Structure 1
């Protein structure tokens, strides 16, 4: 059950990011300004909260990325990605995130590809989309 709830949460986040990317690419200037005013503060607060959880401890280890058996020295991958996208990314030529693939790791840190679970269905799902779940369970979709 936790896996399903986790996937629902991840789907909602991916869908929100997709929606914001689509707005940035396709909306008129007035709409983009309106969305930027409402969404930029939320996005910056989200980054701050995530980075705070990855602040190094007194030994210089990331408490979130470290385990009992493996200590992760700062800056962890979260801080490296934050720097790449928020600081260094401003210096690099702009490319569409859709062409590059939003889940791709930086080339120097690329991890081996993980197999996609067979249950995956839909755009970001390990579970069927809501319409399919309602049809499968025989219950109305809300």
Structure 2
């Protein structure tokens, strides 16, 4: 039962994020302003709540990511992702296979038009198993 509830919860979150991404891509300016006013405070508070749960304890460990047998030093992956997406804008330094730091180019971050068309919509949107992928427009008889 918990697995089903968890999957329903995850699907609802992915669907909400997909809807917001679609709005950002397709909505007109007045609609975007309306969505920004209602959704940005909710999204920022959500980030704050998640980051509070991952604040380092007095030993410098993340209490959420750590287990009894394995301590996770701060900054944990949640803080690293938050920094990359909220501060560095996706251009944060990355490590190559040899551990050397390198910066991602704009093309690597955003991809080219041809590359993004080759990735299936399901992978682009982050949908999960219980959420059926959308029917491609070219597959709809009209």
Q: Same fold (TM over 0.5)?
A: yes
Query: Could you state the TM-score of these two structures normalised by the residue count of structure 1?
Result: 0.68
When the two structures are aligned, how many residues end up with a matched partner? 108
Relative to structure 1, the CA distance from residue 83 to residue 102 in structure 2 (aligned partners, 3 Å threshold; closer, same or farther) is farther
Structure 1 unaligned regions, length at least 5: 104-122, 130-142
1:124 corresponding residue in structure 2: 128
- Superposed CA RMSD: 2.4
Q: For each residue in 1:69-115, what CA deviation from the matched residue of structure 2 results, as whole angstroms up to 9, or x when unmatched? A: 0000000000000000000017674727xx48466xxxxxxxxxxxx
Alignment of 1:22-101 (within 5 A): 22-89=22-89, 93=106, 95=110, 99=116, 101=124
User: Per residue, is there more strand in 1 or in 2?
Assistant: 2
Structure 2 unaligned regions, length at least 5: 93-105, 133-142
Compute the displacement of 1:124 (Å).
1.7
Counterpart Cα distance in 1 of 2:48 and 2:64: 14
1:19 corresponding residue in structure 2: 19
Query: Could you state the TM-score of these two structures normalised by the residue count of structure 2?
Result: 0.68
Counterpart Cα distance in 1 of 2:73 and 2:91: 26
Which runs of at least 4 in structure 1 moved beyond 3 Å after TM superposition? 90-94, 99-103
Q: For each residue in 1:39-59, what CA deviation from the matched residue of structure 2 results, as whole angstroms up to 9, or x when unmatched? A: 000000000000000000000
Counterpart Cα distance in 2 of 1:68 and 1:95: 39
